[in-house]
Structure 1
Amino acid sequence: MQKEKDKFEFVYVESDGTIRELDNTDIEYLQTEFEPFDGARPYIKSDYKQLTPDKKISGFLHRNNIPRDIKVINTNLRYAEIRFPIRIHDSNQAIALSVGVYSINVLGGWSVFLGNFSILLINKKGREVIIPKVTNWRIQSYELGERAKRIMTFEIKEPGVYFIEFKNPKDLKVRRSNLFLMKLFENEIPNNELNIWIDKK
C-alpha cells in the first residue's frame, strides 16, 4: 500500500466533484514549464469549492486542501475538456456537455478517410446513446494551431456527463493536404497520433 508521504502533492477534482489520484500523464503535465499567459497551463484551485470562470469545479488541487469528508479514489476514468484535443485511442474518457449542437473535427490534416470509424456518446446517468452524424459538407479550418476537418455533428438535449467510445479508430486515415498531387508525396499521419476536437456551435 502506498504511504501518504509517497503520494504526489496534488490530486484532481473532476467535473462531478469526485477527487482522484493523478496518473503519470497528469504529473508530467503539472511539471511542464509554460509561459505565464499560455492558455494550456494547468488550472490549480486554491480550495475545493473554487470554480473556473465557466462555473466548473474541475481542476488540480493541493492535497492539503482536500475536504475531510471526501475520499480520494483511484480510477481509470478521465474527463475530457472540449477546449483540448482528445486522442482517438484513449479509452475510459468522459466529457461534461451542456445543451446545444456540437461539431467533431479531426486535427492534423484536410484529407480524411473515415472507413468504419465512428463515435458513441453514452449518457452516464440515463445511459442514452448518441451517435454523431457524419457530415456531408466537411468544412476545413485551423483549430488549436492545426489543420482541422469537420467530420461529424451531434446535438445534446439532456445536459450531463457522457462517456466517449471510439469504434474502429484504426480505420481513420488523415493526410495534411487534400490536394491530389500533394497526397501522392505525403505520408498519412500516424494513426496513434490522431486527435479529435469537439466544438460547440
Structure 2
Amino acid sequence: MQDFNLIIQDNFGQLSEAELELLRSFFKEEKLPKNAYFTQSDKVCDKLSLIKSGILRVYAVVDGKEITQWISTENYLITEIAGFFFNQPNRWSIQAFTDVELLTLSKKNYLKLCQEFPKWLDIEKRFIVKCFAMIENRVFSHLSMTAEERYDAYFEHNKELFNQVPLQYIASVLGMSAETFSRIRKRKSESS
C-alpha cells in the first residue's frame, strides 16, 4: 500500500500534516479473512475503508446468478454507497477474495469527522465524483466499445488481476459471458 497521506493527497487534494494526522486518526485498522464479508446485500453498510492489501469483490445475485460489479484492490476506497451514504439496504455484497487489510472509517466516526473536520465534506465530494466518473466511464465503454476493446482496456489497467481472480468475475465486470471472454482471451494468446 502507498502511504495513507499520499493516497489522500493524490486523490482528494492537498492537506497539511496536522490535517492528515487528524484525518488518519478516525480510520482504524481492520482485517478480513478470505471469504469474509465487508458488507452484504439487504443490510446497511456502516463503514468506508481504504484497502491496504488484498482484493475485494463487489457483486449481487440476480435471478440466482452472481453479477460482479467491481473488483477492488489496494489503495482504493470501498463502501456500498446506497447503504453508507443513504442508509438504504445494500444492493451489493462486498466479499474478501483474499485476506484483506483495511483502514476503516465507521459510520459513527464518519459523522464525527464531518463535524470536526469541515474539509472532509470536500474529500467526500471528490470521492463521490470519482465514483460517478468511474460509473460513467463504464457505461460509455459498454455502449461504445466492442467486447474485445473492453477486454484490452481492462487488461491494460489490471493485468495482475488476470492471474489472481477467477476469469468469470472479470468477464462479469466487463459485461460479457464467460464464453465470450474465453474466446477473446484465446485469440489474444494465439496472436502474441
Tell me the TM-score normalised to structure 1 length.
0.22
More strand per residue: 1 or 2? 1
Q: Which has the larger radius of gyration?
A: 1
Relative to its length, the structure with more helix (as a share) is: 2
TM-score, structure 2 length as denominator? 0.22
